[in-house]
Chains A and B, each alone.
Chain A
């Protein structure tokens, strides 16, 4: 358990997505452990992609090769499968991946206005990353948080309802580090690592918004 926490801390300590590279030695051990959970090796493919994304912020070429070798498929099959899922990124992303929901509930609540405001504030269009590699903006389908419409995610953590003012504040907080304990580096999912709650990092109230960690404190 202690060891797990160390690994998690290491993942959480990553400031920005990396430019490339394969699994760390620890990550490789985890990948192998993950594979052992499944009767058919290739079933571990998606969890392993998340693991890789947790380490690097995106699915690096080196990790694709390593995953392919581990589960016994070709690299083209790994990248092909990963490309099916919006949550898996095959290209380097910014430090914060902002996913604005534009599905029906959010749309009715002003998602497009929000998206426009976000685009203007960040100076990039949906699907782009700014040149400092700080933000990647994407449009998302229903995030399952319609009660907080219009909503968005930052590195898979939920914020909503949002408008242009609260988004400005969100950006400022992200920049000042005020949300350090709430928004983890991109790719770090507690789904991969069900051991550890973000609340141990301190920000108790903010963590309540983190549905992926709900009930794990």
Chain B
């Protein structure tokens, strides 16, 4: 017995051999070398008051609230604990009289110019200044003079107000902007008591991450337009949940007041979002109230009318029966699922594949790449990515697509913790930090990949500068002889950087890279919310639940009864079938292809030629408006269940508010339809569905709502690696009310984390002995591997570089990308975000623009496929001539709220110019003045 204890202690000792011994308030403490005193104290349960210190930013020692007495050569002296690194034998007095007087003094000084308008301040009730004044303040002020006054509040940016009187100059907001977001749009201005946070006179604080400054401001100086005066902290209720607006899946709390969702706050965890959120995710709560589908609707004589659920479901069942009778499962197509939970998607996969027998199923809307490939590539986590030896970005701009992933990566790149090679067609937010930057033109990616990785192919320099190619080779250690260890420490972040280019170039490149660098890992940058959950649950071509290929689906063939016979196809081909009139029923699982698919001509034709369209929608989006039956479903914040992010992290959604009375969870709709088709699944509660996933989907074995709620913390990665899962302390949320004010207490959060307190836990309930990883290794349902990926048939062998368009000088090759603030349903339904939509801009190289006689802001018409849209010229020095960049889902008008939506958005929409079946897209430019001449 004693022996065991002894060895344990020894092991612990060895584990932390770089510890230093310090004494705080007479207690001997082991601190980690290089650790800040404030952190060492906190880990050992001694709280030192602070304002400017934040665990995820470099210390500045700005506020002096953390003054403690520290021993030095000349005896004890006051020093800021947040700025001082621990040293061997350091002696600290954190609550001596002198330290207390110092802390009181600092608070008295801070309060001199603080307006003390707590009763009308958003922060009142969750304010670190209030709280620490109560605990550490002098109790009385000696200041009787007049306080300073400023005009207040001032608008720092479109989403943020600043009350300068309340600011205590802690520099949290300015450091966040500069250090974390890499956008120093705010800085201190003025001097002395007139010091204030300010933007430059020319540029507003319009960072995608501005909301984080509001969250970490330790006083009510920064407030959010969307939350101001909406609630008092003591009226708030909260639930920990996951943001499902993009596939990063940031952990957050949803807070409501009087049953209304009023705020999201990022939850502090070490490996995912570290308490940060992007503004789109943060302020999306407004969409809960606007533009909702409230009742089931069915089209009668051309008009959508409210109907009863029973009638809507009867209509649907009849339509599906008719379709099945006409031509079997392939008469029914099911698109979408990325906005839904894993439980929803599992049930819909089972319904679509196991009941309808359809292989026209895809959760992606043609904006990613081959789903089988995305699932088969060895996956990296975010933490692994941002700490990789080298990160290779073969994707679009992460800031626009996966904002918080950009944030994590930016910080580590700026600090030199990792290196970046960027292979992306345009200048991205990370380009300036890249060691090497290559900009493949549309259609060039595969040739470049071959140049880099196929050492035998003698084409080096055929496209790009030979020295660049060879330095990339050097960086990645590409050699002629491939060894099994090649690629160790390299993470590829991969996604479709040009929506007007066929993904085949990317797909073939990825296959080549994975073959050449067996140890390299991949973080697929598929963007949509729960896209990975949807694909993991089988809502993709040739896929079945648990990342397995249809060919290995014996288990599901047995339990589900049937599986589709025909090969699976992706959304573009499915829509082509719809357009050709070969599909009877189109089911949209929260998908809105009419505003969210690159080839608008194709979607419109598909909608015209599909007799029966069913839309499960939370909002009345364009596709729902054109559907035959619309079923109301819950939105973010109203949903319970689990989701899976791009790392393969499964987490629990906390439902905070009740959905509209008549809305139903999509899984329940699937269960109802199955029952009406006489294929009852026997699953009647969310828990039962979740348990069925945990029991039957090998990849998710043991990962159920119940086990996640007990042990999940910030989520667990599937497949679960060992039967006994040790949740490392590093993945556990930290609860520091000063770091993230406003979060009162969150389930599964403990304050503060203690090392060694993480106990191994069992995710299973005991009846299954194997972990999912072990079970998978035994082969009862092998995970999809690269060899299983159904090879693409489109354009096979046609991957040579396509000649530049040369019909005339006005022809350009198109790069179509995504903006975070597009005119999608989030912006349309969130009044605060609505004005951020921005107009459609066409990026041109300087020489191209001057050749056409165009300047920044010149209006032009852009044509393609017989369509014409309007755009404003923006000159981009990094772009090469012959190329043009447009954005998807953009409007012509600045404020999509005030614009005539149908007309305004349509005439700026680049999706009208793209043919989904083409390899690359060429467009023509028509400057307004020579329009007549050019058209004639």
Query: Which residues on A are within 8 Å of B, measured CB to CB?
Result: 61, 64-65, 68, 73-81, 83-84, 90
Contact = CB atoms under 8 A, between A and B. Distances in A.
Leading 6 A-B pairs by shortest Cβ distance: A75-B200, A80-B187, A83-B189, A74-B184, A76-B200, A80-B189
Given A65-B202, A83-B198, A76 B191 contact: no
A83 B186 CA distance: 13
Nearest to A90: B201
Contacts of A90: 201
Contact of A77 (B184, B191, B201, B202): B184
Nearest to B185: A76
Contact of B184 (A64, A65, A76, A83): A76
Nearest to A73: B184
A101 B155 CA distance: 35
B201 A80 contact: no
Nearest to A62: B202
A76 B197 CA distance: 10
Contact of B190 (A64, A68, A83): A83
B203 interface: yes
B200 A64 contact: yes
B454 to A, nearest CB: 39
A79 B189 contact: yes
Interface in B193-220: 198-203
A182 B520 CA distance: 72
Contacts of B189: 79-80, 83-84
A84 B202 CA distance: 18
23 contacts: A61-B201, A61-B202, A68-B200, A74-B187, A74-B200, A76-B184, A76-B185, A76-B187, A76-B199, A76-B200, A76-B203, A77-B184, A78-B200, A79-B189, A79-B198, A79-B200, A80-B187, A80-B198, A83-B198, A84-B189, A84-B190, A84-B191, A90-B201
Contacts of A68: 200
Given A65-B200, A76-B198, A83-B198, 17 more contacts: A61-B202, A64-B202, A65-B202, A68-B200, A74-B184, A75-B203, A76-B185, A76-B186, A76-B187, A76-B203, A78-B200, A80-B188, A80-B198, A80-B200, A81-B187, A83-B190, A84-B189
A68 B200 CA distance: 10
Contacts of B188: 80
A80 B185 CA distance: 10
B876 interface: no
Contacts of B184: 73-74, 76-77
Interface of B: 178, 183-191, 198-203
Contacts of A61: 200-202
Nearest to B191: A84
Residue from A65, A78, A80, A84 whose CB has the most chain B CB atoms within 10 Å: A80
Nearest to A65: B202
A64 B198 CA distance: 14
A64 B203 CA distance: 11
Q: Which of A61, A73, A74, A90 has the most CB of B within 10 A?
A: A74
Contacts of B187: 74, 76-77, 79-81
Query: Which DSSP category, helix, strand, loop or mixed, fits chain A's interface?
Result: helix
Contacts of A80: 187-189, 198, 200
Nearest to B187: A80
Nearest to A78: B200
A78 to B, nearest CB: 7
A79 B198 CA distance: 9
A41 to B, nearest CB: 15
A107 B185 CA distance: 40
Contacts of B178: 74
A65 B201 CA distance: 10
Count chain B CB atoms within 10 A of each CB in A64, A73, A79 and give the residue with the most: A79
Nearest to A81: B187
Contacts of B200: 61, 64-65, 68, 74-76, 78-80
B429 to A, nearest CB: 14
Between B187, B190, B191, B199, the greatest number of chain A beta carbons within 10 A of the residue's beta carbon is seen for B187
B770 to A, nearest CB: 54
A195 B662 CA distance: 81
Nearest to B194: A83
A89 to B, nearest CB: 12
Contacts of B202: 61, 64-65, 75
A99 to B, nearest CB: 16
Contacts of B190: 83-84
Contacts of B201: 61, 64, 79, 90
A74 B185 contact: yes
A61 B201 CA distance: 7
Nearest to B186: A76
Contacts of A84: 189-191
Contacts of A76: 184-187, 198-200, 203
A204 to B, nearest CB: 38
B720 to A, nearest CB: 45
A81 B187 CA distance: 9
Contacts of A73: 184
Task: Give the residue among A61, A77, A81, A90 with the most B Cβ atoms within 10 A.
Answer: A77
A64 B185 CA distance: 13
A85 to B, nearest CB: 8
A61 B184 CA distance: 17
Nearest to A79: B200
B850 to A, nearest CB: 19
A153 B190 CA distance: 22
Q: Which of B198, B200, B201 has the most C-beta atoms of chain A within 10 angstroms of its own C-beta?
A: B200
A77 B201 CA distance: 11
Contacts of A81: 187
A90 B184 CA distance: 19
A79 B202 CA distance: 10
B751 to A, nearest CB: 35
A76 B184 CA distance: 7
A169 to B, nearest CB: 34
A191 to B, nearest CB: 21
Which of B190, B199, B203: most chain A Cβ within 10 A? B203
B534 to A, nearest CB: 40
Nearest to A91: B201
A106 B420 CA distance: 60
Contacts of A83: 189-191, 198
A64 B201 CA distance: 9
Nearest to B188: A80
A73 B190 CA distance: 18
B198 A74 contact: no
Which of A64, A76, A83 has the largest count of B CB atoms less than 10 A from its CB?
Answer: A76
B183 A74 contact: yes
A92 to B, nearest CB: 12
Contacts of A75: 200, 202-203
Contacts of A64: 200-202
Contacts of B191: 83-84
B188 to A, nearest CB: 5
B183, B184, B186 interface centre (most CB from chain A within 10 Å):
B184
A74 B198 CA distance: 12
A64 B190 CA distance: 16
